[in-house]
Structure 1
């Protein structure tokens, strides 16, 4: 009797083991389907984020630009050397590029990238409208100004591409990184060659600084909708 009971227990145990082994592949298939569903949902969310994500990021960028505009409007009342004002812009943008590298959240990355693009567009425009024409009138060698304007063209092309993209797009991070490299190269040449030449040229750097500061605030107001 005891032997028959023991045999039945062994048979029942084998059946449970067999059922468990048979259930494992089904469980794996179910888990795989769930994982695939989550991946598809994330992709759909990423695609859906395209327009709405860019809109939200632009709002945040515009808000931060408006705050910056307010700060710069206050700074505008304090006379500043033109090259010192532009160097301050360089340092601020360099810091933002460093911050971008540390971000992982897509919305935060896009908002910061758009802020960088906004500041660079304003910076480039005030240089092209005011600094470079003044430099051409004072410097014997205009090659430095010519090279700076060509570098602006390359940077503005990348800026236009980045503004139309989302962080989920292929090469988004790479393009922001390359833009940072362009800007760093441009900054090195301006600060080591063009700015010293301008300071030695006899150009009134304080008057030019006031003009640059006023135009910067005006452009920021227009581009952030605060005009």
Structure 2
């Protein structure tokens, strides 16, 4: 589990720092889930693209360099299975978030086009119900 602490930079510290950075991006994306701001879909797309880029760079580095070197030193074939599953699951999650943000964005565009100025009246109805 990442510690997010700084020490003398070695491969573990570099990977740990990167894990912390990606975790923060995921947290920022999760926080947007609860926001009603107009920029949410666009910001989710930006964050998921950033996470996707980070993981696309990070996963091969960790697996091909770090895991390979440790695997040769430790001689345990299944030692890094959990990390590989975690990387695959993170990439799947990115795809799901990107698809949801895209659907949400398309929905908003269609709703605005179909409803026109009726959305203002609907906002008032929605606000009245939430009270």
TM range (shorter): 0.5 to 0.7
What's 2:13 paired with?
Answer: 84
What's 1:39 paired with?
Answer: none
1:114 is matched with which residue: 44, 49, 57? Answer: 49
Q: Which has the higher contact order (CA 8 A, sep 6+)?
A: 1
Shift of 1:149: 2.1
5+ long unaligned stretches in structure 1? 1-78, 171-227
Give the 5 Å matches for 1:181-196: none
The question of whether the paired residues in 1 share the 8 Å contact of 2:44 and 2:101 is answered with yes
Q: 1:150 and 1:168 mapped to 2: Cα distance? A: 26
Shift of 1:147: 2.9
2:73 is matched with which residue: 133, 138, 148? Answer: 138
Q: 1:150 and 1:112 mapped to 2: Cα distance? A: 22
TM-score, normalised with respect to structure 1: 0.35
What's 1:148 paired with?
Answer: 83
Shift of 1:92: 0.9
Shift of 1:89: 0.5
- The structure that has the greater radius of gyration is 1
CA distance 1:97–1:126, shift in 2 (3 Å): same
The question of whether the paired residues in 2 share the 8 Å contact of 1:96 and 1:116 is answered with yes
TM-score, normalised with respect to structure 2: 0.57
Shift of 1:87: 0.5
Query: Number of paired residues?
Result: 91
Across the aligned residues of Structure 1 and Structure 2, the Cα RMSD in angstroms comes to 2.4
5+ long unaligned stretches in structure 2? 1-7, 105-131
For residues 46-89 of structure 1, the C-alpha deviation after alignment (integer angstroms, 9 at most, x for no partner) is xxxxxxxxxxxxxxxxxxxxxxxxxxxxxxxxx82000000100
